[in-house]
A and B are shown apart, each in its own frame.
Chain A
Amino acid sequence: KQEVTQIPAALSVPEGENLVLNCSFTDSAIYNLQWFRQDPGKGLTSLLLIQSSQREQTSGRLNASLDKSSGRSTLYIAASQPGDSATYLCAVQTGANNLFFGTGTRLTVIP
């Protein structure tokens, strides 16, 4: 059974710092890996999608990498801002729109 783990569970950084969030999964038979952000009491916003054949994706200050063989992904956030404060979730797709989610990393960026 697929299991997705995210480390750390919570992270506090001062504004302007670069940071890395980690995600690991146990079964490498995935179609893609996605990173989402969730603000308190809200739904999920898609940040990046990496197909299983890809190694990384970039969007603005965000860069996500995927190493399918080792079951790992990282989300790099450059020059963090207070508006980046949220919970970040990674998810792997294993079937027709069946996403397995990690437990998330709660990020706080201190002004």
Chain B
Amino acid sequence: KAGVTQTPRYLIKTRGQQVTLSCSPISGHRSVSWYQQTPGQGLQFLFEYFSETQRNKGNFPGRFSGRQFSNSRSEMNVSTLELGDSALYLCASSLAGGTGGRETQYFGPGTRLLVL
């Protein structure tokens, strides 16, 4: 079974631009979560989608948004990029997520975004 894939793997943008990152979950997985990883703040939860609905959201400004399609693929968008948005963006998928606590999340390789 193919793992979680993320595109593009690397991206360079300038301040003020916007960017869209894509994540394809493992086949059959319906929950997709997004995380930002920086040297200073570590790994932080952005949001989680299940069945095209945002179910949970972290503490990030409204410039960060996402969506999920009917095939469970997900995109995240960052508008008006700032230097501090430079990070590794990771997505993770699981079967259904939820609060049962039994499911492992499977992570993709990440998209490394550099904002100049």
Contact = CB atoms under 8 A, between A and B. Distances in A.
B108 to A, nearest CB: 5
Nearest to A4: B42
A46 B105 contact: yes
B107 A99 contact: no
Interface stretch (A10-18, A20-28, A74-82, A88-96): A88-96
A42 B110 contact: yes
B58 to A, nearest CB: 7
Interface stretch (B14-22, B76-84, B96-104): B96-104
A43 B107 contact: yes
B7 to A, nearest CB: 13
A41 B90 CA distance: 11
A98 B58 contact: yes
Contacts of A31: 99-101
B45 A99 contact: yes
Nearest to A95: B56
B31 interface: yes
Nearest to A89: B43
Main secondary structure of the interface of A (DSSP, over half): strand
Contacts of A89: 43
A34 interface: yes
B90 A44 contact: yes
Contacts of B105: 34, 46, 97, 99
Interface of A: 30-32, 34, 36, 41-46, 49, 51-52, 89, 91, 93, 95-104
Given A96-B56, A97-B103, A101-B35, 15 more contacts: A31-B101, A32-B102, A43-B108, A46-B106, A49-B103, A51-B102, A96-B50, A97-B50, A97-B55, A97-B92, A98-B45, A98-B58, A101-B43, A101-B44, A102-B42
23 contacts: A34-B104, A34-B105, A36-B107, A43-B4, A43-B90, A44-B90, A49-B103, A95-B56, A96-B56, A96-B97, A96-B99, A97-B33, A97-B50, A97-B56, A97-B103, A98-B45, A98-B56, A99-B35, A99-B45, A101-B42, A102-B42, A103-B42, A104-B42
